[in-house]
Amino acid sequence: MTGYNAKGDMATSNGNHRNGHCNGSSSNGNGTGDRQADDLAQENQTYPYEVIQEIADFIVKGAGMRPKIGIICGSGLGSLADIITDAKIFEYEKIPNFPVSTVEGHAGKLVVGHLEGAIVMAMQGRFHFYEGYPLAKCSMPVRVMKLCGVEYLFATNAAGGINPKYAVGDIMLMHDHVNMLGFAGNSPLQGPNDPRFGPRFPALVNSYNKDLINKALEIGKSMGIESNMHVGVYSCLGGPTYETIAELKALRMMGVDAVGMSTVHEVITARHCDMKVFAFSLITNKCSTEYSDMKDEEATHEEVMSVAKNRQKACCELVARLVREIQAES
Ligand SMILES: O=P(O)(O)O[C@@H]1C[C@H](O)[C@@H](CO)O1
Ligand SMILES: Nc1nc2[nH]cnc2c(=O)[nH]1
């Protein structure tokens, strides 16, 4: 199989670099390297269709089943994959050309199995821009899901609540996003477009499936958590820093309700290849937009993980029941 380095570029050796911080030096073994090929590879951070196909084939063959729904577990929400039965588990290290998870709360396992009658594949661990991965690499698994047969992407995340009405532990169903990394000229679709995945210029106005949002709201009602559920706008920043008050103010002025460090590039990649998307944020911390509100407490990843742990039951139930409804309709 073709080797790709940690930047998602073609490597000329057959070694799969497993470290997110590859030095980018030539790997053709002669010490000088084919500079032209290296430069081209650096520019082209996308994975060729054939490589994605090989990874998908590896997973489908290894699992012995073809998933219809893909789930990305946010920070501390890995238990979403624990409710999958008859599971075949793939450690990221053992999947050819797959990146590795480097963040606490992201176990680095792909779980394929049954949930509520549907075949699903769940990522226990996603890839973030701040880990040193280009966006195309962060969202490469979404394309793998597509070629495995996935039609629906469920993306979940932990996020800070900017909307003053949001409380810690609330769930915000995403109905739109502000792509801050995109504002800065960064996209998972940068580089040559392969029309086998999707069009050069995809539209994103209907990215978040309204039917799935409505179903989730109904499920929330029947779970008795409707007052802890919102529909709102998420924005992804590059991280790994949490935001300053001035940044939070600016995001709020732009209509952002919750802020995180993921999901948007996954959604863009999923919509590009025509998957139906459902996404939600678990509000793990409140973000104040006023200096006068500043208290001693600051956001920490420990707090994020602890809130996610406390709310995992509700998140699992929401996901499971939505999967059941999708399965019942098909
Ligand atoms: O993977 P997600 O977006 O759920 O993780 C959020 C963003 C950072 O990775 C981390 C910060 O606490 O949580
Ligand atoms: N950027 C960002 N990501 C988060 N993930 C969980 N909480 C936060 C937050 O407050 N800001």
Instruction: Report, as residue numbers or ranges, the catalytic residues.
Output: 75, 106, 128, 130-131, 158, 261-262, 285, 301
Q: Is any atom of ligand 2 closer than 6 Å to the C-beta of 234?
A: no
Least confident of 29-43, 130-144, 245-259: 29-43
The gap between the terminal CA atoms of the chain, to the nearest Å, is 36
Q: Is any atom of ligand 2 closer than 6 Å to the C-beta of 45?
A: no
Distance CA 288, CA 163 (A): 9
- The CATH code for residues 55-329 is 3.40.50.1580
The domain locations on the chain are 55-329
Torsion (CA) 316, 71, 131, 96 in degrees, nearest 10? 130
- Residue to mutate, 304, 307, 309, ligand 2, most ligand atoms under 8 Å from C-beta: 304
Say what the pLDDT of residue 317 is: 96
| Residues whose CB is less than 8 angstroms from the CB of residue 252 and which lie 6 or more positions away in sequence, other chains included | 162, 163, 289
Model pLDDT for residues 93-133, shown as the tens digit of each residue? 999 999 998 888 878 999 999 999 999 999 999 999 999 99
Retrieve residue 280's tokens: 């939600």
Mean pLDDT within 66-81: 95
Model pLDDT for residues 288-304, shown as the tens digit of each residue? 999 987 666 789 999 99
Residue 282 has pLDDT above 50, yes or no: yes
Query: Which residue did the predictor score with more confidence, 3 or 178?
Result: 178
Q: Is any atom of ligand 2 closer than 6 Å to the C-beta of 260?
A: yes
Residue 259: name the closest of 269, 245, 276, 278 by CA. 245
Give this complex's ipTM.
0.99
Say what the pLDDT of residue 294 is: 65
Residue 138: name the closest of 190, 213, 215 by CA. 190
Q: Is any atom of ligand 2 closer than 6 Å to the C-beta of 159?
A: yes
Ligand 1 atom nearest to CA at 128 = 9
Is the pTM value of this prediction over 0.95? no
User: Token pair 């679709």 is at which residue?
Assistant: 189
Q: Say whether the peptide bond before residue 240 is cis (omega within 30 degrees of 0).
A: yes
Q: Element (H or E) spanning 181, and its range?
A: helix 180-183
Distance CA 281, CA 290 (A): 22
